[in-house]
Amino acid sequence: MKLIKELNIDNKKVIIRCDFNVPMKDGKIVDDTRIKGALETINYCLEKNCKIILLSHLGRVKEESDLEKNNLLPVANRLSELLNKPVLFCEKTRGQELDSLVKNMKEKDIVLIQNTRYEDLDGKKESGNDNELAKYWASLGDVFINDAFGTIHRAHASNVGIARCLPSAAGFLVEKEINALKILDNPERPYIVILGGAKVSDKIGVIENLVKKADKILIGGGMAFTFLKASGKEIGKSILDEENIDFCKSILENNQDKIILPIDCAVTTEYSEEEPYKLKDISDISKDEMGLDIGEKTTQLFKDILKNAGIVVWNGPLGVYEFEKYIKNTNEILKFLVENNIKTILGGGDIVAASEKLGYKEKIFHASTGGGATLEYLEGKKLPGLEALETSK
């Protein structure tokens, strides 16, 4: 993978694929973390006197009515505030207006092009990696920087397509994310994985791949109940992934020493914040109860295993972390990992959101910004955005 520092970008027109896919509500940005994540690369290009052309997607565009809510204009405004300089916004993804904006750019000018997925309305040109579209975007610049880790597992025109047409490299955010994940290719042992979250079905590929590589897999969250059911336990009304009971059975049979399941949990009779809960041993769950968090004994068991870890990868919260009561043990384990300086990679999505809510995100070794991309890496899949950088001009 070529890095931005290895590419001569001085005074050039640089196209940067950013991940500005920020959460929006009523046309306002709810969280600008992703915009801030792009600043290092943008500032570096400013130092090198580049003309900077930014591309990003925002949400999904399937029909006309998706256009307005996924307009990137608010991102241009926020970016301009953060950089303390104007960011020119082009309402269109191609055409005369964009061509002339780009043609008239001066050193250190920044242009943000409209949401790349506007092109999906006309035959999925962005998501289908349309060659003509990629060539057109590439024609606007001299070099290409991919700094959108969140879409690195996708082969779209704005990342893979452009990289095929121009000298290309990874931006600082992609470099940081990939370097953290690469540690897992040759992990310090014991390599311990914590898996939580709602369903087994979302993580089959991850489980199959990690069971070969990790030394222990600690399972919590909703998915633990399908494993517990597969091992013959009564799980009451806890979330169950019926179709995957056999899958869990075979994973358990073939990896008896590796898979660690909860021994107790917080149970209640209703999925709500208000209903009181009890701590129960796993064998004592009754038919009308559901488990919404791991219990204290399980937390202690997990800590005993984690204390010797060489590296920990964690995907998915151990309980219904959206409810204050059931975030407790996800919190306990995060705190333990931080206080004991245990090298930990949080694998994107909900566990990163939980770590942020609890104030641990900045203290952990690495909290990945791309949920889907990290999961695919953990599944052992190749990441097309990365491969395109490896094979570019």
Marked catalytic residue, from 150, 171, 349, 370: 349
The nearer residue to ligand AMP, 292 or 364, going by C-beta atoms, is 292
**Smaller CB separation from ligand AMP, 199 or 249:** 199
Residue 322 found at the interface with ligand AMP (CB under 6 A) = yes
Cα–Cα distance for residue pair 143/17, rounded to 1 Å:
11
Nearer to ligand AMP, 223 or 342 (CB): 223
Given 12, 34, 229, 237, the catalytic residue: 34
Q: Does residue number 305 form part of the binding site for ligand AMP (CB under 6 A)?
A: no
User: Which is nearest to 258 in space by CA: 293, 208, 296, 297?
Assistant: 208
Residue 152, CA distances (Å) to 17, 143, 149, 374 in order: 10, 18, 5, 9
| Distance from C-alpha of 252 to C-alpha of 249, rounded to nearest angstrom | 5
Q: Which stretch binds ligand AMP (CB under 6 A): 138-146, 178-186, 194-202, 304-312?
A: 194-202
In the complex, minimum distance from the CB of residue 339 to ligand AMP, in angstroms, rounded to a whole number: 23
Nearer to ligand AMP, 121 or 198 (CB): 198
- List the Cα angle 322/327/328 in 5-degree steps: 160
Amino acid identity, position 94: R
Q: Determine which residue in the list 150, 187, 221, 370 makes contact with ligand AMP, applying CB under 6 A.
A: 221
Q: Based on CB atoms, which residue is closest to ligand AMP, 272 or 391? A: 272
Count of residues that interact with ligand AMP, criterion CB under 6 A: 18
Separation CA 255–CA 260 (nearest Å): 10
- DSSP category for residue 230: H
Q: Is 296 exposed, middle or buried (0-12, 13-18, 19+ CB in 10 A)?
A: middle
Among residues 141 and 222, whose Cβ is nearest to ligand AMP?
222
Min dist CB 22 to ligand AMP, Å, is 19
- Report in angstroms how near the CB of residue 270 gets to ligand AMP at its nearest: 12
Nearest-approach distance from CB 196 to ligand AMP, in angstroms: 6
Q: List, in sequence order, every beta strand (DSSP E) within the chain.
A: 13-17, 24-25, 28-29, 51-55, 88-90, 110-113, 143-146, 168-170, 191-195, 216-219, 259-260, 264-268, 278-281, 290-294, 311-315, 344-346, 366-367
CA 119 to chain centre: 24
Pattern 38-57, ligand AMP, x by CB under 6 A: --------------------
Catalytic residue among 199, 280, 343, 361: 199
37 binds ligand AMP (CB under 6 A): no
Q: Is 34 a catalytic residue?
A: yes
Among 141, 150, 171, 222, binds ligand AMP (CB under 6 A): 222
23 by DSSP, 3-state: which? coil
User: Which segment (5-13, 173-181, 198-206, 306-314) binds ligand AMP by CB under 6 A?
Assistant: 198-206
Instruction: Please give the residues from 332 up to 361 whose contact with ligand AMP meets the rule CB under 6 A.
Output: 349-350
Active site residues: 34, 199, 349, 372
